[in-house]
Chains A and B, each alone.
Chain A
Amino acid sequence: MTQQGVRWTADQVLALAPDAASRKAGSKLGAAGPWSEAGSSDEGTVWGLCRGSGSKPYRTVIDIADSTGPAYKCSCPSRKFPCKHALGLLLLWAGEDGTVPRGQAPDWAGEWIEGRRKCADDKRAASAAGSPSSGDPEAARRRAERRAEKITAGAAELEQRLADLLRGGLAAAEQAGYGLWEETAARMVDAQAPGLAGRVRELGAIPSSGPGWPVRLLEECALLHLLDQGWLRRERLPDGLAATVRSRIGLSGSADGPPVRDHWLVLAQYDTADSRLTTRRIWLHGAESGRTALLLSYGAAGRAPELALPVGLALDAEVSAYPGAGQLRVALGEQFTPPAPVPLRPPGVSVARAAAQYGEALRDDPWLDSHPVTLGRVIPTPDGDSWQLADADGELALPLTPAAQSRSGLWRLVALSGGTPVTVFGECGHRGFTPLTAWPEGPGEAVTLC
C-alpha cells in the first residue's frame, strides 16, 4: 500500500479531534480560504500555511505515516492536540478538491519530518540493541514481593468487609450509602490494588441504580470475592488464569506476547472518562488472522489520549498481546504503512452465536462484562420502551444495553437500517449489546455509533 490516492474521510479526520470545540473549530478551517502553499507528499506528509489573527501565518505540518498514529506540528500557541489548524488542514486534504496538491515539502516542513524520522530510527536502533536494564533485578524482585504482600493484606481486609456486609445483609448497605465504599476503595488504593479499588467504588453506585439493585449488588460482591480468592490462591491457578487475576487486580503486565503482523481494520474507537482519567478503547480486526484486538490509550482528565485511529481505516502493523488467558488487549508495535481506508468488513455472526461467544469468553475471564462481536444481518427493532437487535433470518434478538439506548448513536443505527438488515459491531455482555459501528447491507462506509 502506498499513500498515493488514499485519502481519509472527513469523519475519520474529525475523529482525531480532542474535543467538540476543536472539532467545530477545525471543520471551519477545512476550506481553502485561510490556507496557502498547502501540499502533501507521497510519504504521508501534509503541510500548509494558515492565516490566523496575527500577521504571520501559522505553519502546520502533519505526518500521517507515523507509526503511532498521525503526528502534528503547528506554530500556533494552542495546547490542544491536534490543534484546529492541523484538523482543518487534514479536512482540506481529505476534501480532495485540489487545494492540497502533491508536491515537494518546503524546508520548514521537511526539517521537522526529517527530525522525527531520525528520532524514530534512533529509538528503534536503541531497542534493537537491547533494552536498557532497569536497575538491579534483585531489587525489582524485592519491590514486587513487597507490593504482593500489600495486595494480599488488602484482599484479606476486603474479604473481611464483604463478610461483614453479607452477615448484616445488603438491605443495610443501602442505608450506609456511598461513604462506606469510598473509604474501602481508598484502603484498596493504599494496598496498591487499583483493580480492586475500582470495583469497590462501582459497588457504591449500585444501591441507587434502580429496581433490581440487590441482584446486581450480590453479583458484583460475589465477583469481587472471586477475585480476592483468585489472588489469595494465585499460586494454585493455571498460568493463564493467574495472569488474568493479576491484571484484574491492577498489576500491569507488559505486552510481551509474540508480535502478530496483520492488516488491522479499525472497528471502533471511543472514550470513557472519570474524574481522573480519559480511557480510549480502539477495537481492531485482523483481516488475515480474524482476531479481534483492543488497544487502550489514556489521557489525563479532560484531555484526549494521544493515540487516535479513525474507524474504517486499516493499517499493516504488528501488535503484541498482554498476558492473560483470552486477553484481547494488545500494544501497537511497528506500523508498516500509514492507516488508509479499505472496503473491508468483519464477518458477522448470528445473535445466538454472539451470546455463546460471550459465555465462552467467561471461561477464561469470569469478570468479563462484555465481549466484542460483529453481528451479521440484524435489524434494530423496538421492543416496548427499549430496543433490540433481531436476527433478520431467525426469531432471536439481543436487547441493547440501557446506556446504548440513550445515546444518539442508536438513532443513527435505526436510520441506517430503515427496518432492513445491517451488520453491527459492538460489545455483547450480560447487560445486553452495545452497538459501536454499523455497515449497511449494500455498499457503504462504516457508520460510527459511539
Chain B
Amino acid sequence: MNRTPAPTGTAAAVTDTSGGSRWEELVTSALLGTARRTPSGVAAGREAPAALLDAAAVETVRRRAGMRPGRAAARLEPAAEDPRPALPSAAARRLAMLLADRSGAAGGGRRGAAPDLMELLPQWLATANRRGCAAPPEALPALLDAARGRTDLRPAVLAFAGPRALWLARLNPDWRFALRSTPGGGAALPGLEEPMGGPPLEQSREWGKVRTLWEEGLFAERVALLSAIRARDAGAARDLLATTWATERAEDRLMFLDSLRTGLCAADEPFLEQALADRSRNVRATAAELLSALPGSALAGRMAERAGSCVAVDHTHGTPTIVVEAPHECDPGMERDGVVPQPPAGRGQRSWWLGQLVEAAPLGTWSRRLGGRTPQEIVALPVADDWQGELHAAWCRAAVRQRDPSWSRALLGSPAAPEAGGPGAVSLAERAKLLGTLRAAERADWVAGFIAVHGLSEAFQLLGVCAVPWAGPLGRAVVDALNIARDAGSYPWSFSGVMGLAERCLDPSEAAHLESLTAIPDEPENAAPGAGGYWAESFQRLVTTLRLRAAMQRELTEM
C-alpha cells in the first residue's frame, strides 16, 4: 500500500490522490466512451470497455485502500466548564423521556388516559434550575430544539442548558436565538458575575466593557444588557441609559424605558419627569405610567389633586353617597402628565379622562379625601348617577398598577358574593389581576371560595394566577367541583382547560385521594352517553400525571 505523507494544505482529502493522472485519464475515457477515446495501455476495439473496467477496478480499490486522513482543521475553543453538579441519572432519563415526547406534541386528537409529557417540561426545568443541576450534554440539542419552537420555554431552558448551549448555538444557526437572549452574544456579561454588594458597578473594572457593549451592541443585546444591569444596580442602569437617551430612536426609547419597571424607585423620578416632555407620545405615556406608580412623585401628587376634585362624598341624602363630577376639559397639563385626550370610539370624553385621572392617583390619598374611610368602606359606598362601574374599574387598574393589597382585597369583595360570579363592576380579567397583588395563600383561599360557590366554568383565568402547586384548600375545591360536574352528567371536555391546569398545578400528594374517581361509575339517568367512561379516563390521566410529577420531583431532589 502506498502511504506517502499527506500533501500539505489538503484538508480532509480522503482517497489517495497519488497516481491521480492515471485515474483522471480513465474517468475521461469512460465519460466520452471507448468508441471515442481509449486510455493509454488499453487497445482500442471490442475488448476496450472490459479493459477499461479492469483498470478502473484496480484503481478504485487502490485509491480506497490508500485512503489517508486529512489535515485537521483549526480546533474549536472548548466550551466553558459547567461547575454545577451532574443531574441524578434517574432525572437525566426522565428528561430524555420528556424530550422524546416533543415531536408531535401539538398533534390533535383526543387526549387519552396518558399524561401530556411536554406540558411537564416547564415544571421539570424549574425544579432542576432550583436544584442547580447541570444539563447532560447529549440532551442539549433536543432542549435547544424544544426552546426554538416554544419561546416561553427559552429562559428556563437556557438557564438549565448552561454555557455549553451557548457554545453550541454559535455553531448551529438554528439555535441563534440562544445568543440573542443572552447579552454579549453569549460571552460572559462583563462585571455582572460579581455578587451583589460588591463595589458599585460604575467603579468596577468591567464598566468600560459594559459601555462598549451598550454603545456598539445590537438592539436585543442592549435591551438584555440594560435589564441585567437594572436588576443588579438600578441607578447604574438609569445613568447608562441617560448617556445615550437623546440619540435613541423612539421605538428603542420605549423599550429601554420599559426596562426601568424593574426596581422602580423614587430616584428615577427626575429622569422620568424629563421623559414626560419626550417627542414620542408612547414614551410620554409610559413615563407617566411609571411615575404614577411612585406614590411620592410630583406627578402622582398632581393626579391626586385632579382626581380628588372630581370625587366627593355627599351627605345630604341620608346615606352617604359618592358623587362624581368628571373633568370638563383635558388641559395641556393633564396631557403632559400622560392623559390621552382622545377617547376610543364609543366612549364619552369626560368619563375617559376621569378614568385616567383616578387610575394614576395614589390610592393612599382617597381615605383622607373621603372622610377617613377604609378601602372596604369606600368601595361599599353607593355611587350616584351610574358612575360606579367607571370609578371602580379605575380603582382596580390603580390597585394593580400600585400593587396595593388592601385596595385589591376591598375591590375583590367576598368570593361567595353573588355578583362575584356574574358580570359585576369588576370583570374576571380584572379580578385575576387584582388577585396577583395578594399573597399566595390569600389568593388561593379566595379562588377556592369562589369555586366552592360558583363552580369551575368561570374559574380558569383565576386559577391561572394561583401559585403552583395549589394550596390544599384550593386543590380540594377544584377536585370537588370536577366531581360535581361529573355527577351532573356533562362531558369532561367542557372542563379540559381546568383539567389541564389541575394536571400541572395540583399538589402531587393529592393523587391518593383521587384514586377513587378513576373508576367508571354507573351511568345515571339524563347523563350524556359514555360520559362516565370519559371522566374516568380524564381522572386517570390526572392521577397518572400527578404520580409522574411526584416521581420527577423525587428524582431531582434525591441526590
Interface, chain A (partner B; CB < 8 A):
9-11, 14, 20, 23-25, 27-34, 51-53, 55, 91, 94-97, 159, 162-172, 214-215, 217-219, 221-223, 225-226, 229, 351-352, 354-355, 358-360, 362-363, 366, 379, 381-384, 386, 388, 390-391, 394-399, 408, 411-412, 414-420, 430-432, 440, 447
Contact = CB atoms under 8 A, between A and B. Distances in A.
A222 B100 contact: no
Contacts of A11: 93, 96
Given A27-B100, A221-B56, A222-B57, A399 B70 contact: yes
Contacts of A412: 138, 141
Given A51-B540, A430-B14, A419 B115 contact: no
Nearest to B551: A97
A72 B164 CA distance: 40
Nearest to A94: B93
Given A166-B34, A415-B140, A362 B115 contact: no
A285 B543 CA distance: 44
Contacts of B518: 51
Contact of A432 (B14, B77, B103, B171): B14
B547 interface: yes
Interface stretch (B59-67, B326-334, B406-414, B472-480): B59-67
Interface string B250-261: 000000000000
Interface in B98-140: 100-101, 103-104, 112-115, 117, 137-140
B164 A415 contact: yes
A382 B15 CA distance: 20
Contacts of A388: 12, 70, 72-73
A254 B100 CA distance: 39
Nearest to B172: A411
Contact of B1 (A214, A359, A432): A359
B16 to A, nearest CB: 9
Interface stretch (B25-33, B223-231, B287-295, B417-425): B25-33
A53 B69 contact: no
A247 B69 CA distance: 30
B44 to A, nearest CB: 11
Contacts of B93: 9-11, 94-95
A354 to B, nearest CB: 8
Contact of B12 (A24, A172, A366, A397): A397
22 contacts: A24-B101, A24-B104, A32-B548, A33-B543, A53-B533, A162-B49, A163-B53, A166-B30, A166-B49, A169-B36, A171-B33, A215-B27, A225-B53, A363-B65, A379-B76, A384-B73, A398-B12, A411-B141, A415-B137, A417-B137, A419-B76, A419-B78
Interface string B73-90: 111111100000000011
A366 B57 CA distance: 9
Contact of A359 (B35, B67, B115, B172): B67
A244 to B, nearest CB: 13
A382 B533 contact: no
Given A379-B75, A396-B71, A386 B12 contact: yes
B416 interface: no
A225 B541 CA distance: 62
Closest 6 CB pairs of A and B: A33-B544, A169-B33, A419-B78, A28-B114, A222-B56, A166-B49
A10 B90 CA distance: 9
Nearest to B86: A444
Given A24-B103, A34-B540, A91-B97, A169 B141 contact: no
B305 interface: no
Interface of B: 1, 6, 11-12, 14-15, 26-27, 30-36, 48-50, 52-54, 56-57, 59-61, 63-79, 89-90, 93-94, 96-97, 100-101, 103-104, 112-115, 117, 137-141, 164, 167-168, 171-172, 518, 520, 533, 537, 540-541, 543-545, 547-548, 551, 554-555
A55 B519 CA distance: 9
B53 A33 contact: no
B137 A418 contact: yes
A95 B90 contact: yes
Nearest to A409: B141
B499 to A, nearest CB: 15
Contacts, number: 248
A222 B15 CA distance: 16
A225 B167 contact: no
Given A167-B49, A440-B137, A399 B75 contact: no
Contact of A366 (B35, B61, B71, B551): B61
A362 B545 CA distance: 55
A95 B518 CA distance: 24
B103 A20 contact: yes
B73 A163 contact: no
A169 to B, nearest CB: 3
A30 B104 CA distance: 18
Contacts of B544: 31-34
A355 B67 contact: yes
A417 B11 CA distance: 21
B72 A395 contact: yes
Nearest to B82: A418
Given A358-B67, A399-B70, A226 B57 contact: yes
A31 B30 contact: no
B101 A169 contact: no
Nearest to B80: A418
Contacts of A20: 103-104
Given A171-B33, A355-B69, 10 more contacts: A14-B100, A28-B101, A34-B544, A166-B33, A169-B36, A170-B33, A217-B30, A362-B64, A412-B141, A418-B78
Contacts of A226: 53, 57, 61
Contacts of A28: 101, 114-115, 117
A348 B335 CA distance: 76
B68 to A, nearest CB: 6
A225 B50 contact: yes
A30 B97 contact: yes
Contact of A390 (B27, B72, B140): B72
A391 B72 contact: yes
B52 A166 contact: yes
Contact of A33 (B52, B79, B520, B540): B540
Contact of B27 (A214, A366, A395, A419): A214
Contact of B97 (A27, A34, A229, A399): A27
Nearest to A97: B551
A29 B72 CA distance: 47
A381 B138 contact: no
A415 B548 contact: no
A34 B113 contact: yes
Nearest to B81: A418
A219 B114 contact: no
A353 to B, nearest CB: 10
B182 to A, nearest CB: 17
Given A225-B57, A362-B65, A419-B78, A10 B537 contact: no
Given A214-B27, A397-B72, A408 B117 contact: no
A55 B533 CA distance: 9
Contact of A396 (B70, B78, B114, B164): B70
Contacts of A229: 54
A352 B14 CA distance: 11
B107 to A, nearest CB: 9
Contact of B114 (A25, A165, A172, A362): A25
A390 B50 contact: no
A96 B558 CA distance: 13
A36 to B, nearest CB: 11
Contact of B75 (A222, A386, A390, A414): A390
Contacts of A162: 49, 53
B71 A397 contact: yes
Nearest to A220: B60
Contacts of B6: 396
B34 A381 contact: no
Given A25-B114, A31-B115, A166 B72 contact: no
Nearest to B549: A31
